[in-house]
Chains A and B, each alone.
Chain A
Amino acid sequence: MTEPLVELRDLTVTFTGGPKPVAAVNGVDLTLAPGETVALIGESGSGKSVTLRQILRLNPERRSRVSGQVRVAGLDVLRLSGTELAAYRGAVASMIFQEPLLALDPVYTLGDQIVEAICRHEAVSREDARRRALDLFERVRIPSAARRLEAYPHEMSGGMRQRAMIALALACRPKLLLADEPTTALDATVQIQVLLLLRDLQREFGLSILFVTHDIGAAVEVADRMAVMYAGRIVEAADARTIVRAPRHPYTIGLLKSRAHGALQKGQRLETIPGSPPDLANLPPGCAFADRCFLAADACRTTPPAAEGLAAGHQVRCFRSADTAAALA
């Protein structure tokens, strides 16, 4: 087994800014091998974005409490000093955002922004950086790349902007690309193009990609593995095929059933998960999903279930995992 590129161990993030501390991430363990693509799936407020952002330490440090370990490419991220952190961000791990129009500076051309990012990390001349920006634009398949380098963000379409954002994120040849809902803001037809592009780039650059989405369809398209998050914990993790075909956590089953995809017939009701996610400032002592779970037993409400290995690479946090397989049928 190769050394993992990313290793999160018992990561917790608690926001302390408000009147009550909010436990956004509660003990996340996750590893990514080099060249692997993992999707973090979950509802809003399940802690997936916070986990992602903590890998770059983008959560407000003055207003959050973090414990556990984040190792990326051998670096202990949570202990990096200011300058080490600046050298790590962008060059080892970088990030693309949900809404490219907001994540690109409106007053500079795209070319200038990429050149600026390259020169920030490497001692290259602006001409060389410019050439690399052009090369990046061609790799993310932006047509007439040379002219687009001179364009401002608001002059491009959503899909082109997201491609430019990806080019910007890849400017310093990172090993890890973090993607925070990279296709949510895009049209359905453009979404799939961007996902395919990400997959191609991942092969081309040997990238590891960790991306956050609530769209299981998008995740299946590109991810090798998926991790389902609920209330700040990974409740089920397995390879993409297993998650979709043989999920074992009641929450994953609920998520899959509540998709309008595929075999929904006319007149058939779309199934939903009853209830709403728990209050992160006031988590129940047991399994956070117990109140919405159709299999919940007494034990579920008192102690949180530990991660249980079902098969190679398939882990689930549920006391009733023996009974869930039947429930799916």
Chain B
Amino acid sequence: MALSLAPKAAVPLVPFERSPGYWATVWRKFRRDPVAVGAAIVILALIVMAIAAPWITPQDPFRSSVLRRLRPIGTDGFPLGTDELGRDMLSRLMLGARLSLFMGVTPVLMAFAIGSTIGIIAGYVGGWVNTAIMRTIDVFYAFPSVLLTIALSGALGAGIGNALLSLTVVFIPPIARVAEAVTTQVRSRDYVEAARASGASALTIIRVHVLGNALGPIFVYATSLISVAMILASGLSFLGLGVRPPDPEWGLMLNTLRTAIYTQPWVAALPGAMIFITSISFNLVSDGLRSAMDVKS
């Protein structure tokens, strides 16, 4: 290769520090948000508690006793009281975290995988394929989510598997819509055009540019759905369509304790408080992630 004879053009020196990766930047910004970090710690604690529950529960969460039904909070040996069958509330809440978290996270993850795929395909292909896919999705989206979940679970029959399935179906439309919107945006970007101009195939563009730029925002949106999924799953259990007794699950516990609302309101409210704390923590983490991922600001 011939050497250039022209003098090297003057180049301004720009101060430069070793660049952190995209996700490192996101993490750095996330760490500076005390609310999001606090919520993340709460979620981590809940997850650890859920995993360790069978070994750390102070009492047997299934041992009932007619003699110590509906004890108040602060009873000796039962710090959070007992439920309507005399079972230790603390132990049941700890063990219940397992199913509640599982029922909240799993359908969202499955819907994230399926919904993103649908949305990205619709958004990338465009044209009538997009119209066909997205209008079908809109039909499902038009149903109120609570109604659709209950209707599907009711039709499929009670049980954890069917509850998960119906929740997944309910969450596919909103995720697909977000995925489609983000993909349509990314597709019209100059860097996609530039990739096409340098000979990238449609698959390469989807794999590298669309996934690289779209998955983050879709994922953030999906995390904000976890709280909704938890509440819906609890609702299903409350109606007897999800988890079956005697397995502890917060929504189910809320249901069975509702008779005690006048005699021991504080104990009866405990499962609801757990649902509230968990879902708001997921929402706060999701909000924190969203603002941390807005890298340019």
Residues of A in contact with B (beta carbons under 8 Å apart): 56, 58, 62, 85-91, 94-95, 97, 99, 102-109, 116-117, 120-121, 141-144, 147-148, 150-152, 154-157, 159-160, 165, 168-169, 171-172, 193, 196-197, 199-200, 203-205
Tell whether, in the assembled complex, residue B19 and residue A117 are in contact, meaning their CB atoms are under 8 Å apart. Answer: no
Task: Count A-B pairs with CB separation below 8 Å.
Answer: 114
B16 partner residues in chain A, CB cutoff 8 A:
144, 147-148, 151, 155
In the complex, what residue of chain B is closest to A178 when comparing beta carbons? Answer: B197
Kindly state the separation between the CA atoms of A62 and B128 in the bound complex, as whole angstroms.
Answer: 12
A203 partner residues in chain B, CB cutoff 8 A:
2, 4-6
In the complex, what residue of chain B is closest to A163 when comparing beta carbons? Answer: B11
Most A C-beta atoms less than 10 A away, residue of B1, B14, B127: B14
Instruction: Give the bracket for the number of chain B residues in contact with chain A.
Output: 35 or more
Residues of B in contact with A (beta carbons under 8 Å apart): 1-6, 8-14, 16, 18-19, 21-22, 127, 189-191, 193-201, 204, 208-209, 212-213, 216, 295-296
Query: Interface SS of chain B: helix, strand, loop or mixed?
Result: loop
A87 partner residues in chain B, CB cutoff 8 A:
199
Tell whether, in the assembled complex, residue B4 and residue A103 are in contact, meaning their CB atoms are under 8 Å apart. Answer: no
With A99-B190, A193-B11 known, 13 other A-B pairs at CB within 8 A are A58-B196, A86-B199, A86-B200, A86-B201, A89-B198, A102-B190, A102-B191, A106-B213, A106-B295, A120-B198, A160-B14, A203-B6, A204-B1
- CB of B43 to closest CB in A, whole Å: 26
Q: List 19 A-B contacts (CB under 8 A).
A: A89-B196, A89-B197, A94-B197, A95-B198, A97-B193, A97-B194, A103-B190, A103-B191, A107-B216, A108-B212, A117-B198, A141-B8, A141-B11, A144-B16, A150-B19, A151-B16, A155-B16, A156-B14, A196-B9
Most A C-beta atoms less than 10 A away, residue of B10, B200, B295: B200
Kindly state the separation between the CA atoms of A90 and B205 in the bound complex, as whole angstroms.
Answer: 14
Tell whether, in the assembled complex, residue A147 and residue B12 are in contact, meaning their CB atoms are under 8 Å apart. Answer: no
Tell whether, in the assembled complex, residue B198 and residue A169 are in contact, meaning their CB atoms are under 8 Å apart. Answer: yes
A94 partner residues in chain B, CB cutoff 8 A:
197-198
Kindly state the separation between the CA atoms of A109 and B198 in the bound complex, as whole angstroms.
Answer: 17
Q: Which residue of the partner chain, among B13, B18, B200, contacts A150 with CB atoms under 8 Å? A: B18
